[in-house]
Structure 1
Amino acid sequence: MDIILKNVKKKDFPVFQSLAKSLGFEIIEENEKPYNPDFVKEILEAREELRQGKGIKMTIEDIDKLWK
């Protein structure tokens, strides 16, 4: 059987860890990564390009024309 604890505070984790160890349980700690690393890389590259002046400015009308 698996038990998953979410949103455990750092100060409380040692308590759970010692309890699990005393009962002979195995602890597997996984940190969730909410974003795909490729997506994050793409966003960071786009920000850098904007800083270098490689972006374009669009008005609301220009954006409106794109989807019509």
Structure 2
Amino acid sequence: MEITIKIDKRSKQAKAFYEYLKTLPFVELGEPRYNKDTEIAIKEAKSRKTSKISLEDFRKELYS
């Protein structure tokens, strides 16, 4: 069985709880490698939900 718990680590209590969870042998903590937007972009790229764009158009979009 797998359970997902979201912990806001900004409070002392949450940090202490998180540190406690790390000590338990049966708990596996999976933290995202990147922020939410980057994770979504990676999933889209892997599933080929992307579009091609020329370098010139990309630069125009980036700097406008």
Normalising by the smaller structure, the TM-score range is 0.3 to 0.5
- TM-score of the pair, normalised by structure 1: 0.37
Larger Rg: 1
Scaled by the length of structure 2, the TM-score of the pair is 0.38
